[in-house]
Amino acid sequence: MPARGVSWAAEVLRRLKGLDFPVTKEQLKERLKGMYWRGIPIEELLDKVEKDTFATPAEVLHYLAEAARKVEEEKGLKTHKGISWAALVLMRLKGTDFPVSKDVVKEKLKGLTWRGIPIEVILDHIDKDVFETPAELLHYIAQTARKIEEMGYIEEGKELEVPQE
């Protein structure tokens, strides 16, 4: 089954929408209350973070990814890289005004892959030319990447079709 990290990160961003940064760990706990990562309460992840104030949503995702890795090691869980991937996307898009066009996103994310799939391939299979928010962009990337992954990604030279819903 494909990793759900990117979708999880998009949910974190959705819940952080409208929050003024910088934020404290306690504000994050309140805003993300009731959220779980792989069955683990978000508060447990935040308790692993040795930082009390966060300047940006990308920084929140970065530290949550680090905490998730610690918890995975402690509990012997298989590592998923989705959260840190989403943080990397947000870092690459830092300073970009939303709404943003797919062409601008392609340029800023050039060279990135998601589980071995080039970001350009993923973006080419999204039937949307403008993204209103970072959370919306991450959602579409995750949804499309899963479809491509489920179909079995084929290297360059062969056309890939994503079934229409």
- Classify 62 as helix, strand or coil: helix
Query: Which pLDDT belongs to residue 71?
Result: 79
Write out pLDDT tens, residues 90-146: 888 989 999 999 999 999 998 887 766 788 888 999 999 999 998 899 889 888 887
Residue-wise pLDDT tens digits, 67-82: 887 877 776 655 445 5
Nearest to 100 by CA among 56, 68, 46, 140: 140
Measured torsion, CA atoms of residues 41, 114, 79, 134, in degrees rounded to the nearest 10: -20
| C-beta separation of 6 from 138 below 8 A | yes
Amino acid (1-letter code) at residue 127: D
User: Model's pTM, two decimal places?
Assistant: 0.53
Over residues 39-70, the pLDDT tens digits come to: 678 888 999 999 999 999 989 988 998 888 78
CA distance 142 to 5: 8
Distance of alpha carbon 70 from alpha carbon 24, whole angstroms: 21
pLDDT given at position 154: 54
CB neighbours of residue 78 within 10 Å: 7
3-class DSSP assignment, residue 91:
helix
36-37 and 40-41 beta bridge pairing:
antiparallel
Report which residue type is found at 108. K
Rounded Cα–Cα distance for residues 161 and 130 (Å) = 21
Return all residues near 66 (Cβ < 8 A) that are at least 6 apart: 48, 49
Q: Which residue has the higher pLDDT, 160 or 150?
A: 150
